[in-house]
Amino acid sequence: MKQTKLTGAIALMIAQAIVLLFGYATHVLIGRLLGPAQYGIYGVVLSIQTIFGMLLTLGVPSAVSKFVAQDTPHAKAILSHALRLQLGISIGLSAILALASPLISYALHDSSLSIYLLFASGVIFFQAFYPIYVQFLSGMHRFNAQALITSTYAIAKLVGALALLYFFSLYGALAGFAIGGIIAAILGWYWTRNIPKSEGYIFHFKSFLSFAGTYAIILVGLQILMSQDLFMVKALLKNDTLAGYYNAAVTLSRISYMLLQGLSFVLLPSVAALTRPGASHDKAVQFIEDTLRYLIILIVPSVVLASATSKGLVILFFSTKYIQAAPILTVLMLGLGCLSFYLLLANIVAGAGRPKVGLYITGLMIVLSAAIGSFTIPMFGLIGAAWQTTIASAIGLILLGSYTFKAFSIPYPLKSTINVCIATACMIIPTYFWHVAGILMLGQYVILGLIFIAVLYLLREITEKDISYAKSIIRR
């Protein structure tokens, strides 16, 4: 049964929250048990594994979501072709990472990384297939099933990592990703095995692979951008402990980005369906306009609040040993907030059949980040690395935002932006004299969030339509 975009987005954001919860539990345990130096190595290896893995998790799978949404009667045939294509690509990428591991280790001035990267090349192969089923269900608008597979992956990954961590150290932590991928893929196969396969379908290999490649490069480019500062810290400062501090800040700063990935899984197929030939242009514009407004309401206060309470967050998650990560987190939250917004705009543009726009701007951001970091890191150290990502992300957001509003003829929601900024300021002011620590921060966040919502309501930014949406979500 198909599900509405609104409840689907909520379901996937809840699933993404579960992914974050269990993923961060793994990070925290590794950081606390192994210390900053080993955690720094783990962060570097995991970032490289993620970059290669994203070519598999977001390339062909995202094309499946788009093409299934536009041609549901031939969904099973698209799935079959995509699985065969994914098998070949996964073998090739695993081989490339294995062969490149000595070169990557040399570039990062640490030969000990080579054996970890070789191990990671096998892990990404076993992660390759569950995303196909996840995005297939997205294209079918079966968002609850998609959310359950995503949650299963997160839980199995954590259990597998913890079961092996104490016996095999970093190898065990990395192996958890493979265990989660295998179990989630089996569940995806089970849920899709009885979908009937239509006859006479012609697989448009060129257009499918073109979209998959372009979209994958965009997402991999964003992952490179988010990891580039850590790589440059490792290479230029040559200190594992400093890399560990920086990795702690990077890990916390990515919360908003990772959480909103759940929304991106709804945006791509939804915009694709709304912009297919014969679809209503007005409905597409209204959907995008509403989405952008909600993004402003979600992203701005969460980013500013995390920046304002960065010290408490670092201590809560990583202990006082990582206190030097607090000022880095303050800056990085602003950069990752921009990147979160950029990610969702890129999905809107890609869903409308214009993925190359995001590709070009993402490439520009990577070049800018490298250029800025080569100057700021030697001069300002870790805080300079944080600014390289933040500046590059802000420039990219301005460029893609300008294109999106112009291409879809959407007026910028200036009134909503002003109201959100006022409500955010009212929410943040208490943090300057109301200091809490540890688990009490969660209570503080709830109260501050209620202040934010109350101010929006007084400013009449929250309308009856929004309240009706909220009530419908609760009922469903």
- The C-alpha R_g of the chain, in whole angstroms, comes to 22
Residue 1, pLDDT score: 46
Residue 425, pLDDT score: 94
DSSP conformation letters of 461-475? -S-HHHHHHHHHHHH
Report the Cα 286 to chain-centroid distance in Å.
Answer: 25
Number of other residues whose CB lies within 10 A of the CB of residue 373? 24
Of 75, 51, 50, 73, nearest to 64 (Cα)? 75
This model's pTM is above 0.75: no
Question: Which pLDDT tens digit goes with each residue over 269-282?
Answer: 666 666 666 556 67
Helix pair angle (326-351, 205-237), 10° resolution: 170
Residue 58, pLDDT score: 67
pLDDT less than 50: residues of the chain: 1-3
Domain residue ranges in the chain: 5-412
Tokens of 192: 């899709």
Residue 200, pLDDT score: 62
